[in-house]
């Protein structure tokens, strides 16, 4: 078993770190709000540290799942950052969804410090983290990935190296682009059924068995119909991710008209006070339009 550090105990990181400790690893955690790190250690039996550097000292692998580019830089760099505490040859695994730009920056900084760096954003939501059923898309050197894969498999249903550094983040962008269009399409279908006086549940029972079926349909249609939007990834975080997608599309020359449109629909949801609602709340926006 390995000596590990886990930085960031949000709705994803908290159970992920728990799975690692339960698997027999020696896990030390860090969280910006220290009380949550103390609670995690009391619940799972691991330890906690007051800074990323102290959490990372002596660790074979340091896993991170924080909020955004600046949060990730904050836990990696500087005198109290994880890179300053990691031993030579240790591996940093970033599960945060961030820009390819910051991934490139931190990969280079890690290499200069004698460390390995794997970008490994995740998909599967809070339920996937709690049930160890995450999909992990990775970028980085093959040897670094090979070393980290058995650790990541503790909470993964699928873990795959897509390519060199940054490829994991680019793949996560593809994931968010696909989800945005799917959720809007499902929302419009349910809205249309409602306006036409149809039983939405009966409609989905039929259409889900054909080409219209999707994970979103199978797992979200009932809560959408019931006007419940506390079951997944928050709109605020989705807009952060879609902003990364759209910015990167400008750099690469990709055309993302549907993504840009749905991003504006999510802005409408935020203006309705729904920043913490889950992404299926696009349906609530349509209901509000009448």
Strand stretches in the chain, DSSP E? 3-7, 26-30, 47-48, 61-64, 91-94, 116-119, 122-123, 134-139, 156-163
Helix 257-271 with 235-252: angle, nearest 10 deg: 150
Our CA dihedral for 93, 96, 100, 102, rounded to 10 degrees, sits at -80
Instruction: Give the separation between CA 64 and CA 62, rounded to whole angstroms.
Output: 7
Closest CA to 5 of 131, 93, 128: 93
- Return the SS3 of 25: coil
Q: Kindly name the residue from 39, 172, 228, 284 that is annotated as catalytic.
A: 172
Task: Check residue 286 and give left, alpha or beta (phi > 0: left; psi -120 to 50: alpha).
Answer: alpha
Q: Which two tokens stand for residue 14?
A: 């908290």
- The Cβ-side half-sphere exposure at 183, using a 13 Å CA radius, reads 30
Rounded distance between C-alpha atoms, residue 35 and residue 19, angstroms: 20
Rounded Cα distance between 185 and 213, Å, is 11
- 267 included as an active-site residue: no
**Rounded distance, CA 103 to CA 168, Å?**
10
∠ Cα 255 260 266 (to 5°): 160
| 101: Cα within 13 Å, side-chain hemisphere | 11
Catalytic positions, written as ranges: 172
């Amino acid at each position: 078993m390995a000596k590990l550090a886990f930085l960031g105990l949000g709705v994803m990181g908290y159970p992920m770190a728990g799975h690692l400790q339960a698997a027999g690893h020696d896990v030390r955690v860090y969280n910006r709000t220290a009380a949550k790190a103390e609670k995690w250690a009391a619940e799972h039996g691991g330890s906690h540290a007051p800074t990323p550097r102290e959490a990372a000292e002596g660790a074979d692998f340091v896993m991170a799942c924080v909020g955004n580019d600046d949060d990730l830089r904050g836990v990696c760099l500087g005198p109290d950052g994880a890179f300053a505490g990691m031993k030579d040859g240790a591996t940093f695994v970033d599960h945060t969804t961030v820009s390819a730009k910051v991934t490139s920056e931190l990969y280079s900084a890690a290499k200069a410090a004698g460390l390995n760096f794997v970008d490994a954003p995740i998909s599967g939501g809070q339920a996937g983290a709690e049930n160890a059923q995450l999909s992990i898309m990775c970028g980085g050197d093959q040897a670094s990935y090979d070393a980290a894969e058995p650790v990541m498999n503790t909470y993964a249903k699928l873990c795959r190296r897509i390519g060199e550094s940054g490829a994991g983040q680019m793949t996560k962008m593809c994931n968010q682009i696909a989800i945005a269009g799917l959720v809007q399409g499902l929302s419009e279908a349910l809205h249309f059924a409602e306006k036409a006086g149809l039983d939405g549940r009966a409609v989905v029972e039929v259409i889900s068995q054909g080409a219209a079926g999707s994970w979103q349909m199978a797992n979200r249609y009932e809560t959408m119909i019931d006007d419940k939007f506390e079951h997944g990834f928050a709109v605020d975080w989705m807009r952060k991710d879609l902003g990364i997608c759209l910015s990167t599309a400008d750099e690469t020359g990709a055309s993302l008209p549907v993504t840009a449109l749905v991003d504006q629909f999510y802005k409408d949801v935020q203006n309705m006070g729904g920043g913490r609602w889950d992404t299926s709340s696009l349906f609530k926006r349509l209901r509000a339009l009448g």
